[in-house]
């Protein structure tokens, strides 16, 4: 980023609403953040946190704190004060920089380690103005932690995931090789939250290579289409819920922007599986040759990529290994499984995390001889394409049969009245566990459990058909877009 400022100081780096920032301004403000951090007594390895939605200050805060040697915890502004305090206390954060949108939650929380809270806005600008324009930087190694990302909490208590400078930098290079929309002439639309690992990477990679990024503080489907149709964006990253919202717009709104995005070269998606029906809509609406669906985790980085030419022909596949990544499938005894057999997916790449903060036992459980797993089960076909079967912890054993909810969900997504579906196991006296489907109906439709059961019978064995169907207004999700099945099992989601 500083190199881009030296080469092209006047070039636009970041847009956010009516705010604009050049590379020269971004570099200068980043240096002042580093100077301010040093003045606060932050030293190499100390933790500082940012609690903010996407905003124009996000990149300078993370990079400035990092230049000062801090490990930066990126915490979701959607969390309650108690949850923010738990994350900060877990990592021992000494300083918090908080956006006004999360200021009330932070001010009402009780922290054990935090010494200073700085609110982004006038207080932050005053702090910057008082900070040194340049400060000595500590000697950083490429393997030193850069950011601390709190896990999505889809299976339990969130954990702090340490990502090194090397991991992030090489991830950006891998993205540039795979996606073809990360270079000094590229313009990216940043939608996903930067507090999440993927949202952070897809936005920061643009700045790493000297491109221009516009960040949106919140997702609004019609605004996204108008931006993509009226400005020369070459790349955009969205998660499945974003696409569902876009294709839920009135046909008039969709039609007004169809075919009006000539600069767009790449659409990237991950965080959750894209149902095949949604992929077909993306290709039909935005055009062929654009969509990359990637699979990965914060711990492993990007693991596989289903490239544009395979989207409509390799159904339910997550693709082949990502750049500079090896993938293998292992059984419970650590032996590699054969073609077509199900095993736990492990990957080895330069993108792997350093470990969980202060959790050596859980770090060890995620690794096997340096290879990392997110706990997903998968199979590989004869051509080397991988297919995620399900999360190991989500597998349901009903009447002695193993059922992978993802397979059932894919069938349910094929019903025209189903917008979203999540399948879980619930205790059952007869079967041990029974399948239960949680359904979000498409607006303006009406579908009954009897209809959905009949729909499933055409594609699934009897023991794979849900025994019950529950209808709710929206599936509970984390900031990264992943469904929180633990909340569904606990009955916390309703309406």
pLDDT digits (tens, 9 = 90+) for 137-185: 899 999 999 999 986 554 456 689 999 999 999 999 999 999 999 999 9
Beta partners for residue 371, in sequence order: 368
**Pair 303, 414 in one domain:** no
CATH number of the domain within which 113 lies: 3.40.50.980
**Pair 196, 233 in one domain:** yes
With respect to residue 360, please indicate whether it lies within any of the assigned structural domains: no
Q: Tell me which of 391, 421, 453 is where a domain ends.
A: 391
**Pair 332, 288 in one domain:** yes
Average pLDDT over the chain, rounded to an integer: 92
**Pair 211, 338 in one domain:** yes
383, with CB counted inside 10 A (0-12, 13-18, 19+), is exposed
With respect to residue 71, please indicate whether it lies within any of the assigned structural domains: yes
Q: CA–CA separation, 309 vs 137, rounded Å? A: 46
3-state secondary structure of 455: helix
When divided into structural domains, the chain yields a total of 3
**Pair 54, 195 in one domain:** no
**Pair 380, 290 in one domain:** yes
Domain encompassing residue 109: 17-140
Residue 390: pLDDT band by 50, 70, 90 thresholds?
Answer: confident
pLDDT at 251 exceeding the cut of 80? yes
pLDDT at 493 exceeding the cut of 70? no
**Pair 117, 211 in one domain:** no
pLDDT at 494 exceeding the cut of 70? no
Q: Tell me which of 391, 422, 457 is where a domain ends.
A: 391
Q: CA–CA separation, 248 vs 297, rounded Å? A: 28
pLDDT at 495 exceeding the cut of 70? no
Helix (H) or strand (E) holding 412: helix 405-413
**Pair 206, 312 in one domain:** yes
248, 422, 440, 441, 495 from 474: Cα distances, Å: 14, 11, 6, 9, 8
**Pair 185, 103 in one domain:** no
Residue 219: pLDDT band by 50, 70, 90 thresholds?
Answer: very high
**Pair 50, 188 in one domain:** no
pLDDT score for 480: 67
Q: Are 491 and 438 in contact (CB under 8 A)?
A: no
CATH number of the domain within which 467 lies: 3.30.300.30
């Amino acid at each position: 980023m500083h190199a881009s400022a030296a080469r092209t100081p006047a070039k636009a780096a970041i847009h956010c609403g009516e705010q604009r920032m050049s590379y020269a301004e971004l570099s200068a403000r980043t240096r002042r953040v580093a100077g301010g951090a040093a003045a606060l007594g932050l030293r190499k390895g100390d933790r500082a946190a940012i609690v903010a939605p996407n905003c124009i200050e996000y990149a300078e805060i993370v990079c400035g704190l990092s230049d000062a040697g801090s490990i930066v915890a990126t915490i979701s502004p959607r969390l309650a004060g108690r949850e923010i305090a738990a994350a900060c206390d877990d990592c021992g954060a000494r300083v918090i920089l908080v956006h006004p949108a999360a200021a009330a939650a932070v001010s009402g929380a009780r922290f054990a380690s935090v010494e200073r809270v700085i609110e982004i806005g006038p207080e932050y600008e005053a702090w910057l103005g008082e900070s040194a324009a340049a400060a000595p930087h500590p000697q950083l190694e490429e393997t030193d932690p850069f950011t601390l990302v709190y896990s999505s909490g889809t299976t339990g208590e969130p954990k702090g995931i340490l990502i090194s400078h090397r991991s992030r930098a090489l991830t950006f290079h891998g993205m540039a090789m795979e996606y073809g929309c990360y270079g000094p002439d590229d313009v990216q639309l940043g939608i996903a939250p930067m507090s999440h690992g993927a949202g952070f990477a897809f936005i920061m990679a643009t700045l790493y290579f000297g491109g221009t990024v516009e960040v949106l503080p919140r997702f609004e489907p019609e605004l996204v289409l108008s931006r993509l149709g009226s400005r020369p964006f070459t790349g955009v990253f969205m998660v499945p819920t974003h696409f569902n919202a876009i294709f839920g717009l009135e046909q008039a709104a969709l039609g007004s922007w169809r075919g009006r995005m000539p600069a767009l070269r790449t659409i990237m998606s991950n965080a959750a599986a894209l149902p095949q029906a949604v992929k077909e809509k993306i290709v039909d609406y935005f055009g062929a040759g654009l969509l990359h669906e990637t699979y990965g985790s914060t711990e492993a980085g990007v693991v596989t990529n289903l490239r544009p030419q395979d989207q409509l022909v390799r159904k339910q596949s997550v693709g082949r290994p990502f750049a500079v990544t090896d993938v293998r499938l292992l059984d419970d005894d650590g032996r590699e499984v054969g073609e077509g057999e199900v095993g736990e997916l492990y990957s080895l790449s330069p993108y792997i995390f350093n470990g969980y903060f202060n959790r050596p036992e859980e770090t060890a459980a995620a690794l096997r001889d340096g290879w990392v797993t997110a706990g997903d089960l998968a199979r590989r076909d004869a051509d080397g394409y991988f297919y995620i079967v399900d999360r190991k912890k989500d597998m349901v054993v009903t009447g002695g049969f193993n059922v992978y909810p993802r397979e059932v969900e894919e069938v349910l997504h094929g019903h025209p009245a189903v917008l979203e579906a999540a399948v879980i196991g619930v205790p059952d006296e007869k079967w041990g566990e029974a399948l239960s489907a949680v359904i979000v109906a498409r607006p303006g439709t009406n579908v009954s459990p009897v209809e959905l059961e009949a729909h499933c019978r055409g594609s699934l064995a009897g023991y794979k058909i849900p025994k019950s169907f529950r209808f709710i207004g929206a599936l509970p999700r984390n900031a990264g877009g992943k469904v929180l099945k633990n909340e569904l099992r606990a009955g916390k989601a309703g309406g």
